[in-house]
Amino acid sequence: MRSILTLGLAAIAALVTGCQVVGYAGNPNFDNPLVNDTIGARPYNFPYVLNFPDDTMFFFPTYDNPPRSDLILLAMRCDPQDDGSLKVTTRLENQGSWPVAPEWYYSGQLSAIRVAAIVTTADGAREQVEATRMQPLPIGATVDMTMGPTRARAADVVRVDVIADPTHVVPDPVRDNNVLSWDGGASPNLADCTRGR
């Protein structure tokens, strides 16, 4: 009975304090003091799964570091159509260290990348058009995505805001380059809507 109690207390202490992963440093069988003295043991907390789909293996993380992508909106362009509507085209690049794979979005749609454009007309009405891409976006790859057409007439549009991954599904920790905007002012000219390269 005492051994069972001791084993249970040891298990609880390990869960509360967490374990440590010791590589070659500190391991007497493999330690090389000329190389490994600068490598310390890193704390390894007990893993838990709170996301879907599960990216662990037997409840242990598959990778040491979380995936990191860096979506960059390189350019946007406004194209008035013959029927008076507007199409917005964007160029997007993944400059992160992780490819962007298809994922379930909060709307229930499966896609790798989602881009949204918010179009504002002169009377203050706002309309959102979107584009999605099912194919994965590898590291360093660029893709052009066309949104629209809008219900608003192109002649009435005074502002266009383009947002990459508006629901923050892609693991992009730095989101300072995910938005491009154009404000036409009092006399808008959609020819000036082009941004970037």
Give the predicted TM-score (pTM) of the model: 0.63
Three-class secondary structure of residue 53 per DSSP: coil
Residue 33 vs residue 180, higher pLDDT:
180
What domains lie within the chain, and their CATH numbers? 2-48 (no CATH), 71-196 (2.60.40)
- Residue 123 three-state SS: coil
pLDDT digits 0-9 by tens, 180-196? 888 887 667 776 777 76
Residue 140 has pLDDT above 70, yes or no: yes
**Tell me, what's the pLDDT at 40?**
59
Instruction: Summarize the confidence of residues 33-45 as an average pLDDT.
Output: 57
Burial class (CB in 10 A: 0-12, 13-18, 19+), 45: exposed
- Return d(Cα 192, Cα 57) in angstroms, integer: 51
Q: Give the whole-angstrom CA distance, residue 160 versus residue 132.
A: 18
User: Which has the closest alpha carbon to 143: 71, 193, 192, 79?
Assistant: 71
- State the amino acid at position 15 in one-letter form: L
Question: So what's the pLDDT on residue 146?
Answer: 92
Question: In whole angstroms, what is the distance from residue 11 CA to residue 18 CA?
Answer: 10
Position 119 scores a pLDDT of 92
Supply the DSSP symbol for 193: G
Could you tell me how many residues make up the chain? 197
* Tens-place pLDDT, residues 128-137: 999 988 888 8
Sign of CA dihedral 143, 144, 149, 155: positive
CB 129 within 8 A of CB 154: no
14-18, 21-25, 36-40, 105-109: range with highest mean pLDDT: 105-109
Give the CA dihedral 15, 21, 26, 31, nearest 10 degrees: 150
And the tokens for 129? 């058009």
pLDDT class of 155 with cuts at 50, 70, 90: confident
For residue 98, CA distances in Å to 70, 138, 187 come to 8, 8, 42
- Assign 127 a pLDDT band (cuts: 50, 70, 90): very high
Give pLDDT, residue 33: 56
Task: List helix spans (H) across 18-89.
Answer: 33-36
pLDDT (tens digit, 9 = 90+) per residue, 74-98?
999 988 888 888 899 999 998 888 8
